[in-house]
């Protein structure tokens, strides 16, 4: 996949592939499939998606030996090539392998699904065993003879000498070392690495990369935050061992990176830390200091800060699986009196969870589009005994089954539901 596209389309081709961008697009495809449930659409795109993930295996490529770890020359969002195993591209790769496994299964490509699963398991264990230093994940800087690098991977930024590369991460604590895990959480793919290591890494990012004031912080590149402002810096070398020439932007502050780290904190239960970091961004872009609708990074109106949208997903706990027609509504904040916006690939609306007199009411309104639903998953809590619950759309009673255990309440609609614009489903449990 060409990693830069000039508009109008087709006026120029760079001819280079970016490891994080190409691999990350696989997870995005999976997520779009999930929120739409359109498996026919997925089947049309699957051959190209399969080529995109397996491009990692070309001779001289990112994972030429097919062991689930990217050891090759990996151009990435920092406009350089990382050489050798690193968490930025490596965790993206794990997420893409998991997403590819699920998509391959859905389209009946079972041989590929098994292969992706095996590579994921190998790579996940290797990264935990070899890149986690007890606090966070680091890069093991590699060395690759230039003549062995596959065509289209070597842009030449920091890798004039690929056997002694410059502009590497090394043993720094990188703000987006878990960005692949972040998108995996948004997409419902689960943990890609050991959960305890993930939490410890986020605690380390909060400890080392979080600067509560920036008076003494020196950025030799661009200044997106300064003076009395609080922010997460892109990379911290508090333990020393900083490369002689680290990768560009390592001392900068960019909100897209901050959002992804903060929102992953929300997903793993670090609520206070995640909200604090998001609040810092909004204070910097408060309409007085900076434009609140333009969080600059490489340029104005940059796309990466749109990661902020997933804060709504994390806090509301809303997820839709279109393939299985399942709604999950498990707020991560006080859910005794909660309401939120929701959206899927085919519709949007609001939902609420209210508690009164030991009864719970779940309501979902469709304000636009439509939503197919066979089950609703809610957090465990007070619920009626079987036969005592009531579910209606308007005045119409809806046949259902109620199942609940320690962790979850499940509302199952044996005949399925098609919710359309104007419908409001109300479940009294």
Secondary structure (H, E, C), 333-385: CCCCEEEEEEECCCEEEEEEEEEECCEEEEEEEEEEEEEEEEEEEEECCCCCC
Question: SS3 breakdown of the chain: % helix, strand, coil, rounded to 5?
Answer: 35, 20, 45
pLDDT of residue 9: 82
Q: Please check the confidence at residue 195 and state whether its pLDDT lies above 60.
A: yes
Give yes or no for residue 156 having a pLDDT over 90.
Answer: no
For 236-264, write each residue's pLDDT tens digit. Answer: 998 878 999 999 999 999 999 999 999 99
Indicate if the pLDDT at residue 364 is higher than 60: yes
Average pLDDT of the segment spanning 190-210: 98
What per-residue confidence (pLDDT) applies to 10? 80
247: alpha, beta or left? (left if phi > 0; alpha if psi -120 to 50): beta
| Highest mean pLDDT (candidates 109-118, 295-304, 407-416) | 109-118
Q: For residues 415 and 429, give the distance between their C-alpha atoms in angstroms, rounded to a whole number.
A: 20
Q: How many residues does the chain have?
A: 429
A 10 A CB-CB count for 248 gives: 17
Residue 289: helix, strand or coil by DSSP? coil
DSSP summary character for residue 307? G
As a CATH number, domain 318-428 is: 2.60.420
Stretch 283-302: mean pLDDT, rounded?
93
The pLDDT value recorded for residue 386 is 52
Residue 384 pLDDT class (50, 70, 90 cuts): low
What's the confidence (pLDDT) of residue 291?
95
Closest to 73 measured CA to CA, from 193, 180, 179, 158: 158
- Strands 326-329, 359-379: pairing is parallel
Average pLDDT of every residue of the chain? 94
Q: Which of 368, 154, 106, 139 is nearest to 243 (CA)?
A: 139
Element (H, E) at 278: helix 271-284
Question: Residue 385: which pLDDT band, with cuts at 50, 70 and 90?
Answer: low
Q: Which residues contact 10 (CB under 8 A, 6 or more apart)?
A: none
pLDDT confidence bin for 7, thresholds 50/70/90: confident
Biggest CA–CA distance in the chain, Å, is 72
For residue 298, pLDDT beyond 90: no
- State yes or no: pLDDT of 224 exceeds 80: yes
Where do the domains of the chain lie? 19-243, 318-428
- Residue 126: what pLDDT? 98
| CA distances in angstroms from 231 to 204, 297, 352, 412, listed in the order given | 14, 14, 33, 44
pLDDT at residue 293, rounded to an integer: 93
Instruction: Check residue 240 and give its pLDDT.
Output: 74
Give φ, ψ of 392 to 5 degrees: -140, 150
64-90 average pLDDT score: 97
Average pLDDT of span 103-109: 98
Q: Is the pLDDT of residue 383 over 60?
A: no
Can you say whether the dihedral through the CA atoms of 355, 361, 367, 368 is positive or negative?
positive
> Average of pLDDT values for 189-195?
98
Question: pTM for the whole thing?
Answer: 0.96
**Could you tell me which residues are beta bridge partners of residue 404?**
409
Question: How large is the C-alpha radius of gyration of the chain?
Answer: 23
Region 109-124: mean pLDDT is 98
**Per-residue pLDDT averaged across 301-313, rounded?**
95
Res 388: pLDDT: 83
- Percent with pLDDT over 70 in the chain: 98
Q: CA 149: distance to chain centroid?
A: 29
pLDDT in tens, 15-60: 899 999 999 999 999 999 999 999 999 999 999 999 999 999 999 9
At a CB cut-off of 8 Å and minimum separation 6, what does 313 contact?
A: 186, 319
**pLDDT above 60 for 172:** yes
| Residue with the two structure tokens 């990264």 | 127
296-300 long-range contacts (CB < 8 A, ≥24 apart) are: 296/224, 297/224, 297/254, 297/255, 297/256
Please state, for a pLDDT cut of 90, what percent of the chain lies above it.
86
Query: Quick one: which of 321, 333, 220, 318 has its CA closest to 271?
Result: 333
Q: 428 forms bridges with which residues in the sheet?
A: 361, 390
């Amino acid at each position: 996949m060409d990693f830069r596209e000039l508009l109008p389309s087709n006026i120029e081709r760079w001819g280079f592939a970016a490891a994080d961008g190409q691999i990350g697009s696989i997870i995005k495809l999976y997520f779009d499939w999930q929120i739409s449930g359109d498996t026919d659409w997925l089947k049309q795109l699957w051959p190209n998606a399969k080529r995109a993930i397996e491009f990692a295996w070309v001779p001289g490529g990112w994972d030429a030996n097919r062991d689930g770890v990217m050891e090759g020359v990996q151009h990435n969002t920092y406009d350089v090539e990382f050489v050798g195993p690193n968490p930025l591209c490596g965790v993206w790769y794990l997420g893409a392998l998991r997403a590819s496994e699920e998509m391959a299964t859905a389209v009946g490509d079972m041989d590929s699904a098994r292969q992706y699963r095996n590579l994921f398991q190998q790579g996940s264990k290797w990264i935990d065993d070899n890149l986690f230093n007890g606090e966070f994940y680091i890069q093991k800087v590699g060395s690759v003879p230039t003549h062995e690098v596959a065509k289209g991977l070597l842009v030449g930024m920091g890798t004039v000498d690929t056997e002694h590369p410059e502009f590497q991460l090394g043993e720094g604590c990188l703000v987006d070392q878990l960005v692949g895990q972040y998108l995996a959480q948004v997409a419902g793919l689960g943990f890609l690495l050991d959960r305890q290591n993930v939490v410890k890494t986020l605690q380390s990012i909060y400890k080392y990369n979080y600067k509560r004031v920036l008076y003494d912080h020196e950025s030799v590149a661009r200044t997106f935050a300064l003076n009395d402002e609080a922010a997460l810096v892109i990379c911290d070398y508090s333990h020393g061992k900083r490369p002689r020439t680290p990768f560009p932007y390592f001392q900068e502050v960019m909100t897209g990176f901050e959002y992804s780290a903060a929102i992953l904190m929300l997903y793993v239960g670090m609520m206070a830390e995640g909200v604090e970091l998001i609040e810092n961004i909004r204070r910097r872009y408060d309409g007085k200091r900076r434009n609140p609708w333009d969080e600059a990074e490489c340029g104005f109106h940059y796309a990466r800060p749109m990661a902020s949208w997933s804060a709504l997903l994390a806090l509301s706990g809303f997820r839709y699986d279109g393939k299985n027609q399942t709604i999950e509504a498990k707020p991560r904040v006080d859910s005794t009196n909660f309401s939120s916006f929701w959206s899927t690939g085919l519709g949007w609306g609001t939902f609420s969870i209210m508690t009164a007199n030991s009864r719970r009411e779940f309501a979902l309104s469709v304000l636009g589009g439509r939503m197919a639903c066979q089950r609703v998953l809610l957090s465990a809590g007070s619920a009626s005994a079987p036969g005592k619950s009531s579910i209606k759309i308007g005045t119409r009673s809806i046949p259902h089954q109620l199942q609940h255990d320690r962790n979850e309440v499940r509302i199952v609609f044996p005949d399925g539901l098609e919710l359309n614009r104007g419908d409001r489903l109300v479940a009294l449990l």
